[in-house]
């Protein structure tokens, strides 16, 4: 039996991350035992190895032959851990190992190239303006539903050829799938399975519509025309690709926008810098992504006995990669790594390649350029128009050990005249 680390922080308990991410616990682990064996309740996957230092996270991420995403999945399963549900979830690209992952990733890569994303800039800008138009004169809003949830849903639905009347239905289904740990949402494994089934149904409707009226350059087009080893995707493969791409794109950008606004409100001097110099907004976005990443962890399963960070990990052991921890590592980001500083790129020009918010290795997020573009455009519209923003009460956070989301966040600001 592997000896437990003397520093135990109950990292898989969703409440550990509820008020704020446990940066002090991560700092202790990085300092005392960066690869540590932690206790985990059975309902959260049991005991596991916590990886809290970037060097070790990179090693695990870059060796998919030694650390599998498929065996026990790369993320918590919204459909439960019964064999049938697990087998279905293994068909998602995020849970594939090489060589399947590489082959299937190519199917959608063209839909997320910088050129393809940049072609959406005009419609994203127009939609961002319309979002702020709806709230600017009011002097207050529920920021998550009124602002941060709108852009990612609009963009991914445009890429998926989804009619406007289906967007909110889809958003609710995604919320069901990610809300499994939150007791307030009262979501069961069966609810998660039903939500996935409904999303599959939407996917098939969109596929049928596309075949009648094909549009080039969309994700639907890429999926329906993608070829793997001479074969197009079957119906189930198409639906699973649709599910993971759209769910990931909606939730991560919504979380980053919400947490980014919170951080700017809590650091008014940083917000003022953006008002005075809007050219800093891309730098601010990168710091938001570093400081408060929209994923808490991903997981892998060791496929052999192996040493990581001086610790002996056994075949079959669960390994969890904690992105907020590695993004606050002083050896990488400086002694002020725990400080939110939108000018960090002025002394660390390569910041976007140094943090691990979008992962590293073969599972590096295929939608990273899209997420950055959405965030920059949104804050370019938010900052000059929602002046003097303040929290109208504490944010109401998602109870989750996977996504540090905000469910509700009421803010006030100077009404636009």
pLDDT tens digits for range 4-53? 999 999 999 999 999 999 999 999 999 999 999 999 999 888 999 999 99
Please report which residue ranges of 90-188 form alpha helices under DSSP H.
100-109, 114-118, 121-135, 143, 150-159, 167-178
How many whole angstroms from its chain centre is CA 62?
19
pLDDT tens, position by position, 303-329: 999 999 999 999 999 999 999 999 999
In the CATH scheme, what is the homologous superfamily, with its name and number, of domain 14-412? Cytochrome P450 (1.10.630.10)
**What integer is the mean pLDDT of 163-183?**
76
Q: What pLDDT shows up at residue 162? A: 82
Average pLDDT, the chain: 91
How many C-beta neighbours within 10 Å does residue 85 have?
A: 18
Q: What pLDDT shows up at residue 80? A: 60
Q: From CA 402, how far away is CA 417, in angstroms rounded? A: 41
Instruction: Please write down the long-range contacts of 86-95, taking CB distance under 8 Å and 24 or more positions apart.
Output: 88/240, 91/236, 91/237, 91/240, 92/240, 92/241, 92/243, 92/244, 93/240, 93/241, 93/244, 94/69, 94/244, 94/248, 94/363, 95/69, 95/70
Q: Which of 257, 252, 216 is nearest to 94 (CA)?
A: 252
Per-residue pLDDT band for 217 (boundaries 50, 70, 90) equals confident
Q: From CA 31, how far away is CA 27, in angstroms rounded? A: 6
Q: From CA 320, how far away is CA 299, in angstroms rounded? A: 4
Per-residue pLDDT band for 77 (boundaries 50, 70, 90) equals low
Q: What pLDDT shows up at residue 164? A: 78
Residue 181, pLDDT above cutoff 70: no
Phi-psi region of 73 (alpha: psi -120 to 50; beta: other; left: phi over 0): left
Q: What pLDDT shows up at residue 297? A: 97
Q: From CA 306, how far away is CA 81, in angstroms rounded? A: 26
Those residues with Cβ within 8 angstroms of residue 168's Cβ, 6 or more apart along the chain or in another chain? none
Q: From CA 273, how far away is CA 322, in angstroms rounded? A: 30
Full-model pTM: 0.93
Exposed/middle/buried for residue 412 (C-beta within 10 Å: 0-12, 13-18, 19+): middle
Give the DSSP H/E element, type plus range, for residue 410. strand 410-412
Q: What pLDDT shows up at residue 319? A: 98
Q: At 210, is the secondary structure helix, strand, or coil?
A: helix
Contact present, 12 and 322 (Cβ < 8 Å)? no
Q: What pLDDT shows up at residue 79? A: 55
More confident residue, 297 or 165: 297
Q: From CA 231, how far away is CA 224, in angstroms rounded? A: 11
pLDDT tens, position by position, 228-247: 888 888 888 888 888 777 77
Exposed/middle/buried for residue 416 (C-beta within 10 Å: 0-12, 13-18, 19+): middle
Domain chopping of the chain, boundaries: 14-412
More confident residue, 208 or 242: 208
Phi-psi region of 348 (alpha: psi -120 to 50; beta: other; left: phi over 0): beta
Residue found under tokens 């064996």:
37
Percentage of the chain surpassing pLDDT 70?
Answer: 97
Q: What pLDDT shows up at residue 151? A: 92
Those residues with Cβ within 8 angstroms of residue 236's Cβ, 6 or more apart along the chain or in another chain? 91
Q: Which of 358, 353, 360, 380 is nearest to 368 (CA)?
A: 358
Percentage of the chain surpassing pLDDT 90?
Answer: 64
More confident residue, 352 or 93: 352
Contact present, 129 and 386 (Cβ < 8 Å)? no
- Per-position DSSP letters for 285-332, written without gaps between them: HHHHHHHS-S--EEEEEESS-EEETTEEEPTT-EEEEEHHHHTT-HHH
CA 107-109-115 angle, to 5 degrees, is 140
Residue 78, pLDDT above cutoff 60: no
Residue 289 sits at φ, ψ, to 5 deg, of -65, -40
Per-residue pLDDT band for 76 (boundaries 50, 70, 90) equals confident
pLDDT tens, position by position, 348-380: 999 999 999 999 999 999 889 999 999 999 999
Per-residue exposure over 237-266, b if at least 16 CB sit within 10 Å of its own CB, e if not: bbbbbbbbbbbbbbbbbbbbbbbbbbbbbe
Give the DSSP H/E element, type plus range, for residue 54. helix 54-61
Please give the structure tokens belonging to residue 203: 């996917």
pLDDT tens, position by position, 368-416: 999 999 999 999 999 999 999 999 999 999 999 999 999 999 999 999 9
Q: Worst-scoring range by mean pLDDT, 112-116, 129-133, 150-154, 204-208? A: 112-116
Q: Which of 60, 122, 53 is nearest to 323 (CA)?
A: 53
Beta bridge partners of 49: 37, 319
Q: What pLDDT shows up at residue 72? A: 92
Q: From CA 166, how far away is CA 53, in angstroms rounded? A: 42
Q: What pLDDT shows up at residue 328? A: 98
Strand order in the sheet with 48-51: 35-38, 48-51, 318-322, 297-302, 67-68
């Amino acid at each position: 039996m592997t000896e437990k680390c003397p520093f135990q922080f109950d990292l898989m308990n969703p409440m550990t991350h509820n008020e704020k991410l446990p940066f002090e616990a991560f700092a202790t682990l990085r300092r005392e035992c960066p690869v540590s064996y932690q206790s985990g309740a059975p309902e959260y996957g049991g005991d596991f190895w916590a990886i809290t230092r970037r060097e070790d996270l990179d090693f695990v991420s870059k060796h998919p032959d030694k650390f599998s995403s498929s065996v026990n999945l790369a993320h918590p399963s919204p459909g439960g851990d019964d064999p049938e549900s697990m087998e279905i979830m293994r068909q998602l690209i995020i849970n594939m190992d090489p060589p399947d992952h590489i082959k299937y990733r190519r199917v959608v890569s063209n839909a997320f190239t910088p050129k393809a994303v940049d072609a959406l800039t005009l419609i994203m800008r127009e939609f961002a303006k319309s979002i702020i138009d709806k709230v600017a004169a009011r002097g207050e809003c529920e920021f998550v539903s009124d602002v941060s949830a709108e852009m990612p849903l609009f963009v991914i639905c445009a890429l998926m050829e989804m009619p406007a009347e289906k967007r909110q239905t889809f958003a609710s289904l995604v919320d069901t799938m990610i809300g499994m740990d939150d007791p307030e949402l009262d979501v069961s494994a069966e609810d998660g399975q039903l939500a996935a089934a409904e999303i599959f149904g939407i996917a098939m409707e969109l596929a049928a519509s596309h075949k009648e009226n094909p549009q080039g350059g969309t994700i639907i087009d890429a999926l329906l025309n993608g070829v793997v080893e001479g074969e197009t995707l079957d119906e189930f493969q198409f639906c699973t690709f649709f599910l993971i791409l759209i769910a990931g794109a909606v939730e991560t950008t919504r979380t980053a926008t919400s947490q980014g606004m919170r951080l700017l409100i809590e650091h008014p001097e940083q917000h003022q810098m953006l008002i005075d110099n809007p050219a800093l907004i891309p730098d601010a976005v990168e710091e938001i992504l570093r400081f408060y990443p929209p994923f808490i962890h991903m997981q892998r399963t060791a496929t052999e006995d192996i040493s990581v960070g001086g610790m002996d990990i056994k075949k079959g052991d669960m390994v969890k990669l904690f992105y907020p921890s590695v993004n606050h590592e002083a050896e990488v980001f400086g002694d002020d790594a725990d400080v939110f500083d939108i000018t960090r790129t002025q002394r660390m020009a390569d910041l976007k390649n140094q943090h691990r918010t979008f992962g590293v290795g073969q599972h590096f997020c295929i939608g990273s350029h899209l997420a950055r573009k959405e965030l920059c455009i949104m804050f370019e519209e938010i900052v000059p128009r929602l002046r003097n923003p303040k929290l109208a009460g504490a944010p109401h956070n998602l109870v989750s050990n996977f996504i540090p989301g905000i469910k509700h966040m009421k803010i006030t600001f100077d009404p636009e005249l």
